[in-house]
Amino acid sequence: MPHLKLTIAYDGTALVGWQRQASGVSVQGLLEEALAPLEGRAVTVHGAGRTDAGVHALAQVASVTLQRDVDPRVVVKAVNMRLPHAVRLIDATVVPPGFHARFDATAKTYRYRIWNGQVVSPFERPYVWQVAWPPLDIAAMQDAAGRLQGTHDFAAFQGAGTDVDTSVRTIFSSDIQAADVRHGERLITYEVRGDGFLRQMVRAIAGTLVEVGRGRRSPAWIEEVLASAHRATAGRTAPASGLFLVGVDYERPQTAEAGTQNSSLHV
């Protein structure tokens, strides 16, 4: 009865998000449907994070228990044969039975991509938020982003419908990078790593940082927003298209006994 840690990448453009829903195509639903023929029964997959509709992932993590003793390499190949090209199982690893992708996670990293310019490549458009004008003040955005590090109440960055016991989270790193693309246009990347994130939190932060970059607010405004604990005080919720779940961290390596197979086969 192998217990598996799955690593999944997906283009969320046409998906309703990670979580299985009554209507629409979800990542969880696709994975469970692809795994079922291996088991001859329905299976339940537990994800590390519930990404919203339109959000992408480079390395989402999930856990699942199978009744059949199947080589992880076979799982990767068989599942990818049944998945649409927008979703790929990139790794399957046997882990101890107690491992839970969500509850054992110690940190997650998200990346938000902003195209600051007039002309977006058709190959970039589905994966960025275009802020055509004005040229954003990167130094001010970085100053503001740095003020988010530490433990704070992030209620002001919490989307509607969030059901959590507390909105306090710890941010380990919060950074802005910019790369010149052509003719003064730039690809701006906001990357944040923390112990957990509220619904639409990163998108709300991205929208707030853009307000600072436009010069409408000072970097110190971030501290006022945090102190307010009211969503209306922060910037807009940035579009889902620019957001990527980059990876999930765990305190210790998730490995089973020696001799088990670890597959990184890409199909």
Exactly one of 11, 52, 153, 175 is catalytic; name it. 52
Per-residue burial over 154-190, b = 16 or more CB atoms within 10 Å of its CB, e = otherwise = bbbbbeeeeeeeebebebeebebebeebeeebbbbbb
How far does CA 222 lie from the centroid of its chain?
22
Number of H helices and E strands in the chain, helices first, is 5, 11
Both structure tokens of 194: 């923390």
Partners of 175 in the β-ladder: 191
Number of residues in the chain:
267
Both structure tokens of 66: 């199978």
What are the angstrom distances between the C-alpha of 210 and each of 138, 170, 207? 9, 22, 5
Question: CB of 222 within 8 A of CB of 56?
Answer: no
Give catalytic status of residue 91 as yes or no: no
Angstrom distance (rounded) from CA 264 to CA 267: 10
Both structure tokens of 134: 């004005």
In the chain, beta strands by DSSP E: 3-10, 46-47, 56-65, 87-94, 105-116, 129-130, 150-153, 168-182, 185-194, 243-250, 262-263
Q: Which residues are catalytic?
A: 52
